[in-house]
Structure 1
């Protein structure tokens, strides 16, 4: 019997079961509730309301970019983060969290400067990196943090 992983839908944030071997083969699958693709190569927008399904309950590691719209380096990194999402999914889910809109979450994780990326696994911080990075550097950093 194949092992199944819990994966949060990027649209409705419902937890779905997905076979590990299908995800390892690059298949996305669809949400059982809303029908959206479980992985679409784009970062998920996080808020306090949907943070837990992705960061704590999902079996997929989550890389969160803590950013703000007024931050020049954050805006410069946005397309690089988007490219990294296309390359890293479905092994890792990428998400963005606006620190101006979600100040409590930013404070909870001790965000002092942006952009800051935190890699989570089952709600636990695995790695943290601050500063502007290009897509290739993000991919290398994540691979070293998750042991790939």
Structure 2
């Protein structure tokens, strides 16, 4: 079984697009894709966080709508929550919130979007998902 594991730590729209695009494209090749959201990125798996996403400080003057238009023109869903939905529809992608990050940034199980697979410990993710993965990436 070919698997991909990723750790995502950025929560800005333009910075999270790359790992999600790799996951989106990876479902054609990998049997399973596991993504752990740590640090600020854990908020992206919450209902409030997925709706409040903004560009990074490097691109703060760029409207999210403009980036979304370009993402849509490239053939990907532009809305972050829609990307999560499409990834989950494949049946191959699992989205995990890091328990330490969730504690630090105030994300509880009840706050998670339906597409999230829950809050897990980083050690579990590293030993069960990342270590045996065919490929591991971090963003």
Where relative contact order (Cα < 8 A, 6+ residues apart) is larger, the structure is 2
Higher helix share: 2
TM-score, length-normalised on structure 2?
Answer: 0.30
Higher strand share: 1
TM-score, length-normalised on structure 1?
Answer: 0.29
